[in-house]
Chains A and B, each alone.
Chain A
Amino acid sequence: MFLNLPFIVVVLLALIGIATILLKRNLIKIFLGLTILTSSVNLFLVTLGYREGGIAPIYTLSPAGVMVLPTPHALTLTNIVIGVATTALMLSFAVIIYRRYGTVNVDEIRELRE
């Protein structure tokens, strides 16, 4: 039960993120939802990489014991970087949209609708 707790948190976070994306009408809040969703996946990856009693894979002066494989951490770091880039680009789009349309409400951003 205790070991499964992170996975439960992952699912909860993912649901909060998806619900925010679907239900909120403010662009900035939608981006926050996406960030929460990304974080839930990051947490999932970190949890996958956790091994009880494992030691960090740093060879210099390492204590005896079993090292964890650092692949999930590498994946998480990469995804954090990608997430930052995506959020930055989205926020810059939101700035331009706010300047041109005067709103960040998705119901009013409908210039392209046929």
Chain B
Amino acid sequence: MISEFIIQNAPALLIAVPLLGAFLSPLIGRISRDVRALWVLAIITLTTLLGLLVAYLVYTGGTLIYVFGAAAPTLSIPMDSGGIPIRIILTLDALSALMVIMTVTVGFSVILYSLSSDSRRSGLEAYYTLFLLLIASVLGMFTTGDLFNFFVFLEISSLAAAGLVAYKVEKGKAVEAGLKFLMVSAIGGVFFLLATGILYGQYNALNIAMLASMIQWTPLDKLALVLIIVALAAKCGSVPMHYWTPDAYSMAPAAVTAMLVVVSQASLYGLFRFCFTLYGLTLTYAVIGWTLITLGVLSMVVGVTMAIPQKDIKRLMAYHSISQTGYMLLGVGVGLAVLGDQALLSSYGFTAIEGGIFHIFNNALYKGLLFLTAGAVILRIGTSDMNRMGGLGHNMKWTMILFIIGALAIAGIPPFNGFASKFLIYESVFAFNPILSIIAMVVSILTLASFVKVFHSVFMGPRLPEYADVKEAPASLLIGMAILSGLVIITGLFPEFFVQHLIAPAAHALADQSGYLAAVLGGA
């Protein structure tokens, strides 16, 4: 009975549980710190289980619909509405499910990590409220089937993330970073709402599937798409709008930074979702595809070249995030550029989309891991300046091993997961345009060079006198990092399994607009 209820309402509970948990945590935190930690842990565990359940349901039973307030949760079009889906709707296809899996695994690991690394700070009641709110909003962005709700979750994620970025204050520097992030997000949000208004004004609908079935590619639709691309590309930290990324990523607490990576991917997901599912074949796919490719190549090159001279370890990693975002834009952009051509799509377009999506998933894992290891180092020695680090490998062996796993994964060295997704991207992009593929490989080599430098200056060398009695990171940090590194290794060792069972369905769901429409609007 109860399990039936949970299965039926799982998509709604997936958002409701962290949301309620967020607002109850300050109240429960009044009892004691330990009770609050247990509460937060319980909520995130429950959310993780729900997320995995939802993903299982989607991968076994196909696209999942959840309509709020309807007679039955799957009744997207009420009988008396004349064929218009008027209610708030959650739509989960295989791509959403994959993103949910990514969010809950990273969310679970970073909360475990944060319970120990941030336990001494003040203001924790607000911290965990914002953290759970951030997770809830990201899950909302991945699961919603409605343009306006996407905007609402986008704004919730901006506000929560800005609060978390500014949380440490750090003589005002963290607040400055938070303000930059909030400013970019707020302007992006306004643009996104304007696009929503333009589409609503023309088609009287907010439901993505309903809009997609009517969209025309009029000049106003073009304007709306431009606004959407600008807003979401700014929020995912793609190059012309990337300046907030290094500031926000370097000033936030490490656990928050790892989560911010997932938040950026949520905007990227929105970008892909709207290009493929909302506009689909109506847009001039070659032009928009090349736009994404250009953004991607710029992000890759600028990100990695800016990363090399950095002295602050988290700032360096933040520039690498920009560069990794470029790979995803490149992969999916190539897929979009050949969307209308069935022959090219099946020869390399799908592979490119698979590569891009797989890279989103892998990046969240290894980038999260790298930020967490950086956080562990900073926690133990109290500085993020790499010129003042050295010889930490003697005292922090486990952290060093975990860092090596993350660094090799980001550089695309087999057998780690970065290699698997980058290989898919190289292979398919080479068939599309060899020069792009060569750029991607060069960027990868530069990434490796940069991480060799980090590794050498942080962990190698003789034991420094001032760090002679530095201790290994606490167990809870190591467990959080070990979960992520375990997944990095597993996805790297068995890429075929993951591509076949998780990534390929997601890529097909993204490219298959009619399937999405049929799931929401009925067998049209």
Contact = CB atoms under 8 A, between A and B. Distances in A.
Given A44-B194, A79-B193, A82-B152, A100 B172 contact: yes
Contacts of A86: 155, 158-159, 182, 186, 189
B518 interface: no
A79 B200 CA distance: 15
Contacts of A101: 172
Contacts of A71: 200, 206
A48 interface: yes
B152 A78 contact: yes
B297 interface: no
A66 interface: no
B183 interface: yes
A37 B190 contact: yes
B176 A44 contact: no
Interface string A66-78: 0001011001001
B193 A93 contact: no
A41 B201 contact: no
Contact of A89 (B163, B197, B204, B250): B163
Contact of A114 (B186, B204, B315): B315
Contacts of B233: none
Nearest to A98: B172
Contact of B175 (A30, A34, A75, A96): A96
Interface in A63-109: 69, 71-72, 75, 78-79, 82, 85-86, 89-90, 93-94, 96-97, 99-101, 109
B93 interface: no
A112 B179 CA distance: 12
A71 B87 CA distance: 11
Contacts of A79: 193
B173 interface: yes
Contacts of A41: 190, 193-194, 197
Contact of A96 (B172, B193, B250, B315): B172
A48 B200 contact: yes
A92 B132 CA distance: 22
29 contacts: A34-B186, A38-B190, A41-B190, A69-B204, A72-B200, A75-B196, A75-B197, A78-B152, A79-B193, A82-B189, A86-B155, A86-B158, A86-B186, A89-B159, A89-B182, A93-B162, A93-B166, A93-B182, A94-B179, A96-B172, A99-B172, A100-B171, A100-B172, A109-B176, A111-B173, A112-B173, A112-B177, A112-B250, A114-B246
A69 B162 CA distance: 35
Contacts of A44: 194, 197
A16 interface: no
Given A85-B159, A97-B175, A111-B172, A75 B148 contact: yes
A41 to B, nearest CB: 5
Given A41-B194, A44-B194, A112-B251, A93 B173 contact: no
Nearest to A7: B201
Task: Classify the secondary structure of A's interface with B.
Answer: helix
A85 to B, nearest CB: 6
A23 to B, nearest CB: 14
Residue of A37, A79, A101 contacting most chain B CB atoms (<10 Å)? A79
Contacts of A34: 183, 186-187, 190
B448 interface: no
Nearest to A39: B190
B247 interface: yes
A113 B506 CA distance: 40
A48 B182 contact: no
Contacts of A27: 179
Given A78-B152, A86-B155, A97 B176 contact: yes
A56 to B, nearest CB: 18
Nearest to A37: B190
Contacts of B204: 69
A94 B178 CA distance: 11
Contacts of A99: 172
B168 to A, nearest CB: 12
Contacts of B175: 93, 96-97, 100
Contacts of A30: 183
Given A21-B187, A41-B190, A96 B169 contact: yes
A111 B197 CA distance: 38
Contacts of B187: 21, 34, 37
Contacts of A85: 155, 159
